[in-house]
A and B are shown apart, each in its own frame.
With several copies, the nearest count.
Chain A
Amino acid sequence: MSAVDLTVKLGPLTLKNPVVTASGTFGYGTEFSPFLDLSTLGGIVVKGLSLRPRRGNEPPRIWETPSGMLNAIGLQNVGVDAFLQEKLPALLPFDTAVLANVYGEREEEYVQVCERLDGARGLAGIELNVSCPNTAKGGMEFGVDPMMLERLVAAVRRVTSLPLIVKLSPNVTDIGEPARAAVAGGADILSLVNTFTGMGIDAEGRRPVLKNVVGGLSGPAIKPLALYMVHRVAAAVDVPIMGMGGIMNAVDAVEFLLAGANAVQIGTSNFLNPGGAATMVGDLAEWCSRHRIGEVRELTGGLRT
């Protein structure tokens, strides 16, 4: 087992292993200290940060669905300044790549948040959450319009030299298009998928189950859809990929690597199995050694079709 090399290189970003926790499902990291040693993880993506603190949506905010969950948290977060002052320093003692997930309602907001993050001590990279409604464009998601997306990524690219990850929305006809646009804008890495737009209805109450009416679907239910999208993006572009969507164990992670991902992110799984991400690191090494794979990166795109 010790023989397996788990390190992965995603362009400018090197991770000690390919297991990264996903934004919005891992708090600001330290919430998980009672369950695992953060230093075992390849990386941590923190909760989406906006320019100012946000209180989020009114509850109910989540709903359980068959093998999945809908959420409409509304990006409740402490804001970028509190993150830099309080949350990021608390992660300095840990040997893991800390990635900031960034949210904006307008292009300028993304740029401003990234300007503040650029050069922050202990920050390994920035992930742009482009599944946000663009208030200047009538609420359309940044991530679904390739031109808008390329412009946004280029604008952010100008203000930061940190590794730049663009997290793609799956709510599109062909995910290859935003993938190419993000790369054209200057993305170093693509991560996918964010949640699928969905809705739950309470038949008894004849009401949407979420106060926000619509929410994002995550969890094992979406795994086949996410795997397909990773496979497709891997064929469409040449940059490294972080794959995610319903990963619950090391075998699921291997599937994403085989589909073309260089690393994976663990989301919903953290809620029900808070120590799970760390377990997966060990299990992945074990899986590799059992299959005589010396370097985990050999798995990437290793699908025999």
Chain B
Amino acid sequence: MIFSGTVALLENRDLGHDNFLAVLDAPEVGQSMEPAQFVMVRAGEGTDPLLGRPYSVARIGEGPNGVTIQLIYKVVGRGTGIMAGLRAGAELSVVGPLGQPFPLPEDPQVPVFLVAGGIGIAPFPFLSARLLAAGCHPRLLYGARSSGDLVGRDLFPPGIEMEVATDDGSGGHAGFVTELLDRHLAALDTRTRQRAMAYVCGPTPMMAAADAVLARHESRGHLSLEAFMGCGFGVCLSCVVPLVGQETGYARICVDGPTFPAGSIDWHRSQSP
């Protein structure tokens, strides 16, 4: 069974620059959750807004009734705005865990890169914890518009190497985070490069760029895609994306993804208006 019901907000921490960390008392959701899986959340009363919003789970923590799930979210519209206004004690309606997780590398010795753009940082604290536990040594490449937007770095477990990039040069590499990925891969010998693994999450153009970098270096990777989702579990058929070699149909990001292997998205056909 997938949990669907009401849970309590235990904490709603302001991370600055319109980003928040929400801690939910949701042991039924958290106990079987995997990195890059997500939950659909509805906040507020009434039927406007009507639909849930998808959020990755950023961390699994300890809570009064078992585990908590922790979400990092950025206020971009109505749903996130309402959520930001809630205090501890508020009730949220939650459905999850949903979607396909990031698969861990078979061989823990390969170079592992976590490539995050903006709020795409969300799934990586959780993934990092799992990677460390599996003996991997992930390196986080984290890009954002400006250094103030580089939130949530303190949510990572210790032992993760981090490099940052900012569009405005206010922190780390001045430029795109995909350029950092490109550099790192270029520095590897061919065999290592082909075994290297990148996990990518961020805005669509950044993911398309990362996908191109991975293809050029023949490296492996998984992308966690974004879409407006009506349901989150495969029935509304809203979150579709065309895959390479699948000219007659679409994959659903919510159930077939949100993670897809690098090289599988047909970026040409997927460009939305």
Binding site for B on A (CB under 8 A): 25-27, 31-32, 34-35, 53, 55-56, 59-62, 64, 66-69, 71, 73, 76, 205, 207, 211, 219-221, 248, 268, 270-275
Contacts and interface: CB of A to CB of B under 8 A. Distances in A.
A274 B273 contact: no
A61 B240 contact: yes
A34 B47 contact: no
A90 to B, nearest CB: 15
A-side interface mostly: loop
B47 A67 contact: yes
A73 B95 CA distance: 23
B50 A69 contact: yes
Contacts of B42: 272
Size bracket of the B interface = 20 to 34
Interface of B: 1-2, 4-5, 40, 42, 46-52, 93, 95, 227-228, 230-231, 233-241, 248-250, 272-273
A272 B229 CA distance: 10
B249 A66 contact: no
Given A56-B240, A272-B40, 6 more contacts: A26-B235, A59-B272, A66-B46, A76-B240, A272-B50, A275-B4
A268 B50 contact: yes
Contact of A34 (B1, B52, B230, B249): B1
Nearest to A248: B47
A274 B4 contact: yes
Residue with the highest number of chain A CB atoms closer than 10 Å, among B48, B95, B237, B273: B237
A275 B28 CA distance: 15
Contacts of A73: 236-238
Contacts of A248: 47
A26 B235 CA distance: 6
Nearest to A59: B240
The 6 closest A-B pairs by CB, nearest first: A62-B238, A27-B235, A271-B231, A34-B2, A67-B47, A220-B47
A31 B47 contact: no
A142 to B, nearest CB: 22
A126 B95 CA distance: 32
A31 B46 contact: no
